[in-house]
Structure 1
């Protein structure tokens, strides 16, 4: 009799604390109002436990009195029944992430949020330049508008802190102007080592009243920040609108993308340089020049580089 009881206790302990039947990780969603019995049935159907009935019994006897939490949970492969219950009681829900890369325009942020089927609610594209590029965590069922609000709060806070530490004598006069110029710097170079130099070029031009002549400001009114997919037309270079810096002096009417932290920092602390020009150098970076004569020489080198490669 004692041996039989001991064997039964051993089997119970093995099924409760031993390796579970789940072959690979899976996800379980516990909806608001779901009971332990309903959740146990889900677990059995997913192959995470051997028996829903026995899971409920063991949970009541061995698992404590804490209730299970609402949310989406990732169940590891071979997790024991005891560990699964502990996971559900602890409320460590599955975290998902949405990433906004540096330089993305608002329309792409909206499209990315719309594509996340785990989210709820509808949302308009946020104001251009108002969200801080980063990775943001969310849970299934979160509201799209709430996530955009977090992105916008992150940008507001970062810009305010960066502005408070700005270098004296910079070209921009307000945080809003800094954001606009940072969006141009973001679009003009993807090379971290030259961001502050690009910022210096545009800062010098602003201070001297020279047109910025930034190609991305031509493209923005046409595509709202999406890739143009072709060469810029002469008519587009000459177009007069609120953004084209080939047709006006000063900054465009607003940001042309959502700039990242590094581009904001570069505008608020540009390199100590007199450069007024830059052109691609064939290495993924740019050649900078203080004078038009130097710039024209760099342009000739760039054209020769392209010609050699049949571009």
Structure 2
């Protein structure tokens, strides 16, 4: 009998050793095996989610099996998981991915506000971005700006840049950051402005920068365009810039400016009114704000588009009219 028990004990021991060896090999292979070979997968871990939550998502994507190996790895690493969206990159092992979750290395998305957009174009682009939670989309502009702490028109009050965010952030979060960036950049531009500008406030600098943004398509011309506008303001001349007319027309503009548009008075029509428009007409970028604060010296009082993105600058009306004949009427 004792011999039988000894044989059984040896068999059980051998079975355990064999099973343990198999389990060890399986676990090591699991640790070394990439979750994904090509492409990238995205996993969302909600607040309060656990390791089994995300491993279940991985299993549903066919990337792993939710079994004892993940439970053992979780106990070994002893991590607390942070909520958010996580990427599974090619070649990433289970331990590497779990470390990413523990470190809170969430996916960062980007949203770019384009220089020269109107605030309406900005809000339309935000509404199309499904990665952002809706919070500001239905707010009237006055309500939106009040929530941002600014008793001002919304136009021009958001700085064009690329902003990074994570899934779950709201459109209001992004607008708030952009508005704060604009305020900081505008304050710096106003503080560092050239002496003698015909501007009474930073708000007027912002308006001027928006005109420069819409007129100067070539970076090298921003300060020259700013110089023309500043000299015209100093001499009491009307600015006579087409983008202000287009802005005032709003949805009625069909893509072509006609003489009737230039003669139709409205607050933004710089052909019928002196001085700056009452509000910005677009979102100016850092370069346009800098150009408004540091316009180029010179004697040019006019400019006309050549049709290639650049302008011909003129010091006299006679020279300007010849340029118009060449570049505008000649094209027609």
- Counterpart for residue 108 of structure 1: 121
Taking the aligned partners of 1:47 and 1:281, their CA distance within structure 2 comes to 58
**How large is the Cα RMSD of the aligned pairs?**
1.9
Q: Residue 87 of structure 2 is aligned with which of 74, 81, 93? A: 74
Superposed CA offset, 1:129-187 (max 9, x none): 10000011111111221211111000000111111111111222211000001101100
Unaligned runs of 5+ in 2: 1-13, 146-153
Look up the SS of the partner of 2:159 in the other structure: coil
Measure how far apart 1:240 and its partner are: 1.6
Structure 1 stretch 189-198 or stretch 281-290: which is displaced more?
Answer: 281-290
- Counterpart for residue 99 of structure 1: 112
1:33 paired to 2:60: no
Q: Residue 59 of structure 1 is aligned with which of 73, 80, 90? A: 73
- Counterpart for residue 285 of structure 1: 310
- Using the size of structure 1 for normalisation, the TM-score is 0.92
Q: Residue 15 of structure 1 is aligned with which of 16, 27, 30? A: 30
1:153 paired to 2:185: no
Q: Residue 238 of structure 2 is aligned with which of 211, 227, 235? A: 211
Contact 1:17 1:80 (C-alpha < 8 Å) held by counterparts = yes
- Counterpart for residue 215 of structure 2: 188
Taking the aligned partners of 2:206 and 2:73, their CA distance within structure 1 comes to 55
1:122 paired to 2:135: yes
Q: Residue 24 of structure 1 is aligned with which of 30, 39, 53? A: 39
Note closer, same or farther for the CA distance 1:164–1:260 as it changes in structure 2 (3 Å cut).
same
Measure how far apart 1:118 and its partner are: 2.0
Look up the SS of the partner of 2:230 in the other structure: helix
Look up the SS of the partner of 2:135 in the other structure: coil
Structure 1 stretch 203-212 or stretch 82-91: which is displaced more?
Answer: 82-91
Measure how far apart 1:24 and its partner are: 1.9
Contact 1:55 1:81 (C-alpha < 8 Å) held by counterparts = no
Taking the aligned partners of 1:154 and 1:139, their CA distance within structure 2 comes to 19
Bigger Rg over Cα: 2
Taking the aligned partners of 2:128 and 2:281, their CA distance within structure 1 comes to 23
- Counterpart for residue 90 of structure 1: 103
Unaligned runs of 5+ in 1: none
Taking the aligned partners of 1:237 and 1:304, their CA distance within structure 2 comes to 17
Contact 1:133 1:259 (C-alpha < 8 Å) held by counterparts = yes
Superposed CA offset, 1:230-288 (max 9, x none): 21132221122211101111000110001001111001000111110001124320000
Look up the SS of the partner of 1:29 in the other structure: strand
Contact 1:103 1:258 (C-alpha < 8 Å) held by counterparts = yes
Taking the aligned partners of 2:134 and 2:19, their CA distance within structure 1 comes to 57
